[in-house]
Amino acid sequence: MSVLVALAFGAAAGIGVVLIVCGLLGRQLLPAMPGRRGSGGGWVPTVVGVAAGFGVYGVTGWLSAGLLAGLAAASVPKFLSGRREHEREIARVEAIASWAEMLRDTMAGAAGLEQAIAATGPIAPRAIAVPVARLAAWIDYEPLPVALRRFADDVDHPTADFVVAALVIAAEKEARDLGRLLGQLAVCARDEAKMRTRIWTERARTRTSVKVIAGCVAAFAGGLFLFSRPYLQPYDDAVGQLVLLLIGGLFFGSLASMDRMARIAMPERFVRRRSA
C-alpha cells in the first residue's frame, strides 16, 4: 500500500508541474466546458467526488477504488447534464434570433440603432434578457462598438457574434440594409437550432449506451463487493490495485469518449472586446 501512496503523490506532483507550466505559457490544458463559462458552482462536483473517494476508500480499504469512485462521482453531473445543456443552448439561439428580429422591426419604424437597442432592453427574450439590459445601459456612457463587443463577451455565444458583427459594422461604417441582414441572421440562427435538435435526437442512442453500460458495470462491481468478496481478494495487494486502477481508468476513458461523441462541439467565437 505504501507503494500506491508514493505513486499517487508522484502523479499529483507531476500533474501540478504540468498545470504550472501551462499556466506560465498561457496555454489551455483542457477544453472549455459546454455552456456559459464562469457560471460558478463547479466546486460542488469536486467536493462530492472527494467525499465519495474517501468514503469508498474507508469502506473497501482500496486506494484505487477510492480514486475511481471519486472520479466517477465528480463526473456524474457532467454526464447527466446533456439534456439540460441542450435545452439551454437552443433557448439561447432562439433568443438571439428573436432579438435580431426585434432590432429589425424597431429600426423599420424610423428608429436609429442605439434607440432600437434601448427599446429592446426591457422586452428582450428571457435567455439573453440580462445581457441586453446591460447593453442598453452601456450605450449611454461608452461608444456603441465598444458596448457591442462587451455584449458579445457577456452572451459568449458564436451565433451572437454574427449579430454583433453586423451591428458593429453598421455603427462604424453605416452599412445599408441592416434590417434585411438581421432578418437573414435570425433565419440562420433558427436553422441552427433545428439542426442541433436533429443531431441531438440522432445521437440519443450513444447517450443511452453510455448510461446503460455505466449503470450495469457499477451494479456488477457493487454486487461482487457485497455478495462475493472472496472473488475480489486478488485485488488486495499492490499489483492487484494497479491492475484495478488501470482497468478502471480504461473503462472511464471509454465512457468519457462516448459521452464526448454524443455532444455537439461549439465553434470558436470571433468577436471579442478589444483590450487596451
Q: Is the pLDDT of residue 36 over 50?
A: no
Q: Is residue 128 part of a domain?
A: yes
> What is the domain count for the chain?
2
Residue 139 maps to a domain: yes
Domain finish residue from 201, 223, 248 = 201
Domain boundary residue, one of 185, 201, 217:
201
Q: Judge whether 25 lies within some domain.
A: no
- Residue-level pLDDT at 208: 80
For residue 22, tell me if it sits in a domain: no
Across all residues in the chain, what is the average pLDDT?
A: 80
Residue 40 maps to a domain:
no
Comparison of pLDDT for 52 and 134, the residue scoring more: 134
% of the chain with per-residue pLDDT over 70: 80
Does this model's pTM top 0.85? My answer is no
**pLDDT tier for residue 148 given thresholds of 50, 70 and 90:** very high
Residue among 61, 71, 8, 64 nearest 247 (CA): 64
What amino acid is encoded at 178 in this protein?
Answer: L
Say yes or no: 192 and 215 in one domain: no
Establish if 223 belongs to a structural domain.
yes
Domain end, chosen from 201, 227, 243, is at: 201
Residue 172 grid coordinates = 462604424
Residue 56 lies in a domain: yes
Q: In this structure, is residue 276 part of a structural domain?
A: no
Query: Residue 240 belongs to what domain range?
Result: 2-17+46-80+205-261
Asked if 165 and 149 touch (Cβ cutoff 8 Å), the reply is no
Instruction: Round to whole Å and give the CA distance between 80 and 83.
Output: 8
